[in-house]
Amino acid sequence: MTPQADPSGLPRIAVLSLGGTITTPAERPDGARPPLTAADLVSAIPELATVADVRPVVAGARMSADLRATDIAEVARWIDGARRDGIDGVVVTQGTDTLEESAYLLDLLSPGDTPVVVTGAMRNPGRPGSDGQANLLAAVRTAAHPGAVGLGVLVVLDDVVHLARAVRKTHTTATGAFVSTPGPIGSVVEDRVRLGLRPTRRSPVYVWPEQVRPAAVPLVQHCFDDDDRLLRSVGDSGADGLVLAVLGAGHVGARLLPVIDDLVARMPVVMASRTGSGDLNRISAGYPGSERDLLGRGVVSAGALDPLKARILLMSHLTAGAPLPTLAAAYEQASG
């Protein structure tokens, strides 16, 4: 797509549809659920025509559990091409189940300052209280806002604006399921976009070679009274790296240390707090299995990233062939 100048003077916003609940109507009596296209989504909201020159684009039609990292990498390349052709902003619609991960991957793979906003819906079109149209309108308003330039990928749902690196899905069905720590950076009220906070720096940006196999990075959560069997299996699984969701501010049971030492000798091992929010400690404790002990053994701290985001960053770093000695600095940069 090569955007042409819009005589109305409105910003040119592409709406890319990947599928998900926002495109899946409530089931009809005959059982049919024909998916909505990007054009269907846009045409159902006449008010969009007063906000932007919206260009609908179908990029896929699948539920978010079926999206792969290669799909998001392809979207990132499309966005980069559209940016070079003069598009003013991009909205990506997808399912919410993996949105917090795919939006962050898109953030890591998206160079340039063009606003990119990811949105979706918690309730199918046609159901009472369906939120898809409101979310799409708020997302387009945000992508068209001058203040969104240079912020990296944003996530907009329920009239709240989040940074992709900070957002998490915290409820199975509520329309306000998405929250972020330390908090959202803005909101949408009527026709006004309020962006009250700006990050001090963006997440690192990576370039993946085309047709590359994304790095295999399992995520293992440390639990009360577990043993080392699952961790041991990672060493023989062909994994390229590991993210370990540790306890609290950076702790594991001392019983896991021998297998952690073995894994560090084979691959990059990153720790992130299973709590999902807050920065890891570095110097508060030095007992076996503490954060200081793990860092001394060569485990890399994910800083303030939660385990899901830490996995996406490690996958991106390895797939791009970035130097391993720069991994700790990448997590520090991503932590804000």
Please identify every residue annotated as catalytic.
21
187 marked among binding-site residues: no
Q: Residue 246 and residue 254: Cα distance in Å, rounded?
A: 12
Both tokens of 111, joined, read 């160079």
- Asked if residue 97 belongs to a known ligand binding site, the reply is yes
8 A C-beta contact, residue 31 and residue 110: no
Element (H, E) at 246: strand 242-246
Distances (CA, A) of 207 to 63, 89, 210, 223, 324: 26, 20, 9, 35, 15
Is 64 annotated to bind a ligand? Reply is yes
CA distance 252 to 289: 5
Counting every residue written for the chain, the total comes to: 336
Using CA atoms, how far residue 66 sits from 72, 102, 109, 274, in Å, is: 12, 11, 20, 25
Contact 212, 319 (CB under 8 A): yes
Whose tokens are 């085309």? That residue is 210
Element (H, E) at 192: strand 192-195
Q: What is the rounded distance in angstroms from the CA atom of residue 307 to the CA atom of residue 246?
A: 9
Cα separation, 305 vs 181, whole angstroms = 10
Beta strand extents in 48-135 (DSSP E only):
53-58, 89-93, 116-119
Annotated binding site for substrate: 64, 96-97
